[in-house]
Structure 1
Amino acid sequence: MAVPKKRTSKSKSRSRKANWKRKAYLQSKLALSLAKSVLTGKSNSFVVKTKLSAENSSSDDI
């Protein structure tokens, strides 16, 4: 198993953690924004089925 040769400095490890957390924050921000736009109906980049018609929801067609 690979073992690091020397200890990683606190600043380097904190910098990596901050970068990782920032990426997660930006992804969550995008997901929340997309969810809000879908709920309001103003979404241009996301297709959502709003209602199923009576013909498509019957179990005989499956």
Structure 2
Amino acid sequence: MMFSAFCPTHDSTVLMTRRNVVGFDDTDDGPVLRWRCGCGHLGTLDRNGSHAPAAPVLQTIRS
């Protein structure tokens, strides 16, 4: 099994395999696949596409 999902940390679509799947739910709105990107970002994939919370904004420390 392979699928693609948008990862906010990468700011792009990432190709994933069954190893990225962390859960599966059968809801009233249809199946929902929970995934974890190789970078650690978590998200879901449902019949409406990929969903993931925004990546944290990193601040640069200036000396």
The answer to whether the superposition gives a TM-score over 0.5 is no
Larger relative contact order (C-alpha < 8 A, sep ≥ 6)? 2
TM-score normalised by structure 1 residue count: 0.21
The structure with more helix, counted as a fraction of residues: 1
1 or 2, which has the higher strand percentage? 2
TM-score, structure 2 as length reference: 0.21
Q: Larger C-alpha radius of gyration, 1 or 2?
A: 1
